[in-house]
A and B are shown apart, each in its own frame.
Chain A
Amino acid sequence: MKMSRRQKKENIFSYIFIGPQLIGFLCFVAFPLFFSIYLCFSYWNFIDLPVYVGGENFAAVFRDPIFWKSMGNTLIYICIVVPLTLLTSLILALLTNRKLPFMKFYRAAFFLPMVTSTVAISMVWLFIYQPYGGVLNTILEGIGISNPPHWLQDEFWARFAVSIVMIWLKIGYYYIIFDAGLKNIPTELYEAAEIDGANAFTKIKNITLPMLSSVMFFVSVMLFIDVFNMFNEVYIMTAGGPNYSTYTLSMYIYFYAFTEFDMGRAAVASWVLFALVGVVTLIQFKVKKRLVYE
């Protein structure tokens, strides 16, 4: 096939345009990825060249109950964080999708958590969750709950406490995305429905949700990725405890890479994480084809 001059020129310019990103991709993504595959099968002490050890690292990871527990926790976080963040930010967007006083204030307030450093704000949450005399439990006692849980020290409640911080951190971002999505829905659709005598609920069900389906898809993909990468919040508030109930896969990787100096095991775990995210995203794309209204 022969290219026209114009096409040739366009090809050259395109590669100039994507050049920086392409080089970056090869150096800072592709090479590290290959290197970490190599590490999966090696023992590396950071000083000498990695030594091939076959499937040893895989065996070590897969027989480790802590690894499975952190996988399970990641799934639990997904079950809590993804739907709750999605719902709350959607509801907030629906509520503000009208003329209201203090709009600017709400926007700024919802978004502020995203702007801060997770490290500093996680420490603040430690104080809020403090079992005796902390803000949250003082309020709970005030409204008549006599024995509020010891949030971060309680095996059952800790993962909820951590999830709430995660939701709190992410809500503003997804709120704005939903808000923008709502603004993109043509008002004619609602007017037509009103003429047909539809109430607010049927309008949401029949117009808003279908029109928002592609936004919801995007939000859920990004949320899954957020949850898979949860680290700082957990690390600072609970260090994965109590009894590994808040331990995440990211923390597992960090512990083996940087405290135990066992890069092979960390590499295997991080590839499992990568594979998980990949599979989930693929499924989401498949589901998207069937559900998303376009």
Chain B
Amino acid sequence: MRSLRRKQKNIIKITIITLILMVFAIGCLFPFYWMILNSFKQPLDIFKVPVDIFTFDLTFDSYMAVFTYGDGLIWRAYLNSIIIATTSTFGTLFTSSLAAFAFAKLKFKGKNAIYSLFIACLMIPGQVTILPLFVIFANIGWINTFLPLIIPGVMINTYGVFMLRSFIVSIPNELLEAAEVDGCGYFRKYFQIILPLLKPSLVTLGLFTFIGSWNNYFGQLIYLTDQELITLPLLIAGLKETHMTGIEWGRIMAASTLSIIPIAIVYLKCQKYFVQGIATTGIK
């Protein structure tokens, strides 16, 4: 009898929690629903008031407009965005895990001083450095190439070092000592022991880097000029007009939906690792 009541109570509790969570989940998803809905709407229906959030009057006009914009410029934009995002992601994973390994497991002169400098970097607002950086890249002739969008991210990622270090610290020293007995050098320790264990954190960091680089409109705007170098955020900006009419809104919603798809796929694929990965993020 008592356990039955307890069971009942539990069911009520779970129902209430499910309701609350559903409300939040729908709140999180609604703007996306709205965006996708409007990308399929007849352009002028977007402005219709009161808003109509249930009618799916399917049309591919907006998508067609995006695909035909500038003779299929979108494929070029996809390709470029993928090149920039993947190279900077893999580059940053490599360099920051190397540095994180050194900071976590090796002893060297000036370690603490350098590490605190790195952590202080986390606090620097992007606006402080953007123009001086531009001066550097202009002077070495990197403007109008992908390099300024890739190299700084690869060469310095304090967040990545911070996050990966806290994971590596928790790897037991015995593992490394055992490897040393087997005659492993530093590089083999890194490749054979640290990297495999680091997989979940690397996936997490990788996803963050990928998203950041994928959506970096301002950087791409100031560093890229040629039409062949166009990226998705630039393309979306190109669809906008000085005065917006329904047609442009539809196109932008379509292009934004298209630009989210790759990240959403990557995210859903890595979700499993991802949760494990953040579990140990620089908390300690």
Question: Which residues from chain B contact A114 at a C-beta distance below 8 Å?
Answer: 211
A17 and B98 contacting across the interface, CB-CB below 8 Å: yes
CA distance A183 to B281 in the complex (A): 13
A254 and B132 contacting across the interface, CB-CB below 8 Å: no
B25 and A109 contacting across the interface, CB-CB below 8 Å: yes
Interface of chain B: mostly helix, strand, loop or mixed: helix
B1 within 8 A of A: no
Interface size of A as a range: 35 or more
B129 and A33 contacting across the interface, CB-CB below 8 Å: yes
Interface of chain A: mostly helix, strand, loop or mixed: helix
CA distance A109 to B25 in the complex (A): 5
B236 and A121 contacting across the interface, CB-CB below 8 Å: no
Question: Which residues from chain A contact B280 at a C-beta distance below 8 Å?
Answer: 180
B103 within 8 A of A: yes
Contact of A28 among B49, B156, B186, B278 (CB under 8 A): B156
CA distance A175 to B164 in the complex (A): 20
B277 CB to nearest A CB, Å: 9
Question: Which residues from chain B contact A278 at a C-beta distance below 8 Å?
Answer: 120, 123
Given the interface pairs A33-B128, A229-B126, the reply to whether A28 lies near B25 with Cβ below 8 Å is: no
A62 within 8 A of B: no
A29 within 8 A of B: yes
Interface size of B as a range: 35 or more
CA distance A148 to B91 in the complex (A): 50
B interface residue numbers (CB < 8 A to A): 14, 17-18, 20-22, 24-32, 34-35, 49-51, 53, 95-96, 98-99, 101-103, 106-109, 111, 114, 117-118, 120-129, 131-133, 135-136, 151-152, 154-158, 161, 186, 190, 211, 214-215, 217, 233, 236, 249, 252-253, 256, 259-260, 263-264, 267-268, 271, 274-276, 278-284
A interface residue numbers (CB < 8 A to B): 7, 10-11, 13-15, 17-18, 20-25, 27-29, 31-33, 35-36, 39, 88, 92, 95-96, 98, 100-102, 104-121, 123-125, 127-128, 130, 132-135, 138, 168, 171-172, 176-177, 179-181, 183-184, 214-215, 218, 225, 228-229, 250, 253-254, 257, 263, 266-267, 270-271, 273-274, 277-278, 281
Top 5 closest pairs, chain A to chain B, by CB: A24-B155, A133-B49, A180-B279, A24-B156, A120-B256
